[in-house]
Structure 1
Amino acid sequence: MFNNNDRESTAPVDVGETYEVTIEDIAREGDGIARVEGFVIFVPQTQVGDTVNIKITRVLRKFAFGEKEE
């Protein structure tokens, strides 16, 4: 049977991977929004214009969460 654990194989990011991203917008909750191949990643403690290295912590069907690497 098919088990996707809330994730589609089309997501261009994987949990544990690191990426350099630029924060493009701020979500209502205050997290920064970055994109990898158009896929939205929420990154707390960032501001618009920040270029940061992030580590992906959770991948869902339509978006992911990452944390800033120091």
Structure 2
Amino acid sequence: MEISEKLLCLFSADVTSEDDRYIVEVPRREVETGSIDPGQTYRVALIATGEPVPEETESRPSSEPQPPVEVGEIRYVEVEDIGKQGDGIARVERGYVIIVPGAEIGERVKIEVTEVKSNFAVGDVLE
């Protein structure tokens, strides 16, 4: 499955029924720390869990998706957790992890990405 570079957030949610409509709730953290704003219209893609996603028959590049950040990139992130070594952990597009040394849970910090790996990056606090 190809993931669009325009992906703003990724989360799991239940679909609930209310009167004559169905509702997918967006977690508060996605609005507060992400790039979505209440009152705006967005495209929503639904992917079933527990069932395999159909493979596309067209040829695709064999490489995995690239990290959503680059060395030298400046970003604002919110620290959601603390890692085993005491570093702050923030998540950005597609749940990609950025380790932020010296940051505390709940802090929203401006960082510069200093190292990028396939499954995580490291960012130094600028402010």
| TM-score bracket for the superposition, by shorter chain length | 0.7 to 0.9
- Give structure 2 stretches of 5+ with no counterpart: 1-63
For residue 64 of structure 1, what is the aligned residue in structure 2?
A: 121
How many residues are treated as equivalent by the alignment?
63
Which gives a bigger RCO, structure 1 or 2 (Cα 8 Å, sep 6+)? 1
Cα deviations across residues 17-54 of structure 1 (Å, max 9, x unaligned)?
01000000000000000011111000011100000000
- Label 1:58 to 1:9 Cα distance change in 2 as closer, same or farther (>3 A): farther
> What amino acid sits opposite 2:106 in the alignment?
G
Structure with the largest fraction of helix: 2
Q: Percent identity?
A: 51
Larger CA Rg, structure 1 vs 2? 2
Question: How well do the aligned residues superpose, as a CA RMSD in angstroms?
Answer: 1.2
Structure 1 stretches of at least 4 aligned residues deviating more than 3 Å after TM superposition: none
Q: Distance in 1 between matches of 2:86 and 2:125?
A: 14
Structure with the largest fraction of strand: 1
